[in-house]
Amino acid sequence: MANKAQQPPHLHLAELTASQFLDIWKHFDTDGNGYIEGKELENFFRELESSRRGSGVDPTNASFREKMREFMQKFDKNADGRIEMSELAQILPTEENFLLCFRQFVGSSSEFMAAWRRYDTDRSGYIEANELKGFLSDLLKKANRHYDDQKLVEYTQTILRMFDLNGDGKLGLSEMARLLPVQENFLLKFQGLKLTSEQFNAIFTFYDKDGNGYIDEHELDALLKDLCEKNRQEMDIRDLVGYKKSIMALSDGGKLYRAELEIVLCRDSMF
């Protein structure tokens, strides 16, 4: 295991398979938190520079630090000082680039939420393997990618390996949302709130003013405004229209039931 850790895989290749991309991600995201950051980031950039130059580099050199800063300015889209999976997809050339392919299919948060509702066919709050297979099949058709059933199974398993953080064989909304471009991933804002189920239930009851069991667009507007006011660091009230549009894409004809809103506002849903 120690030798494997010292040999970063495939960074020199002209084009990666999805599986190789995943190997690289798991190699550098050593703590498995979904980011390449700190020492992980320095190791990644050092190996990337070495693979491009064909020789070793000195991370203590001032020019190394300057190059790394320029690199982060280019690829760290949300300027948080770390690299996410969707950002890494812009850096490494990937043969079966699900992430870039996905963006052609789902270009915004609201489109993502509508797709989630379409493919979560049993309304479980998760995309299971069979639902994911249907999603990827449609995605690849739309991107004019040729595939056979064996490849589709392989792609499905690779996506699960990439994004199924808790290893339960299915994707929660927040896991699937890691496919979104960083600046579009509005769910990260809500996850920052870290609401418990009890807090969520209290919020839902309070804003469901007429007690009809769902929240309509006006009630959601009031809820989001209050959340923005109370959590200014995570959420910007200027983005309120976008938040609302994205969340309402989950609704049933303008009715946002408890289950749908919960998978947005709570990191771990009750399902």
Task: Return the domain boundaries, the chain.
Answer: 2-91, 98-180, 186-265
Residue 252, SS3? Answer: strand
How far apart (Å, rounded) are the C-alpha atoms in residues 135 and 228? 33
CB 131 within 8 A of CB 121: yes
> For residue 197, what pLDDT is reported?
81
- In this predicted model, what pLDDT tens digit does every residue of 237-266 receive, in sequence order? 778 888 888 888 888 888 998 888 887 877
- In this predicted model, what pLDDT tens digit does every residue of 62-73 receive, in sequence order? 888 899 999 999
Q: Nearest 5°: phi and psi at 172?
A: -80, 165
CB 221 within 8 A of CB 244: yes
How far apart (Å, rounded) are the C-alpha atoms in residues 250 and 266? 15
> For residue 72, what pLDDT is reported?
92
Range of 9-18, 70-79, 155-164, 184-193 with top mean pLDDT: 70-79
Multiple choice CATH, 186-265, 3.90.1150.10, 3.40.109.10, 1.10.238.10, 3.40.50.300: 1.10.238.10
Query: Looking at the domain 98-180, which fold is it?
Result: Recoverin; domain 1 (1.10.238)
Name the CA dihedral angle for 144, 119, 246, 185, rounded to a multiple of 10 degrees: -70
Other CB atoms within 10 A of residue 123 CB:
12
Inform me whether the pLDDT recorded for 75 exceeds 50. yes
Inform me whether the pLDDT recorded for 98 exceeds 60. no
How distant is the alpha carbon of residue 138 from its chain centre? 19
Instruction: Look up residue 20 and give its amino acid.
Output: Q
> For residue 11, what pLDDT is reported?
66
How far apart (Å, rounded) are the C-alpha atoms in residues 18 and 98? 8
- In this predicted model, what pLDDT tens digit does every residue of 224-237 receive, in sequence order? 888 888 777 567 77
- In this predicted model, what pLDDT tens digit does every residue of 193-207 receive, in sequence order? 677 888 888 999 999
Q: Nearest 5°: phi and psi at 251?
A: -75, 165
- % the chain with pLDDT above 90: 10
CA distances from 156 to 89, 112, 122, 133 (A): 18, 18, 18, 6
CA distances from 118 to 86, 123, 138 (A): 23, 9, 12
> For residue 269, what pLDDT is reported?
42
How far apart (Å, rounded) are the C-alpha atoms in residues 98 and 265? 26
> For residue 185, what pLDDT is reported?
65
Strands 256-257 and 214-215: antiparallel
Inform me whether the pLDDT recorded for 4 exceeds 60. no
The mean pLDDT value for 60-84 works out to 88
Question: Would you say the CATH fold of 186-265 matches that of 2-91?
Answer: yes
> For residue 104, what pLDDT is reported?
64
Multiple choice CATH, 2-91, 1.10.10.1100, 3.60.9.10, 1.10.730.10, 1.10.238.10: 1.10.238.10
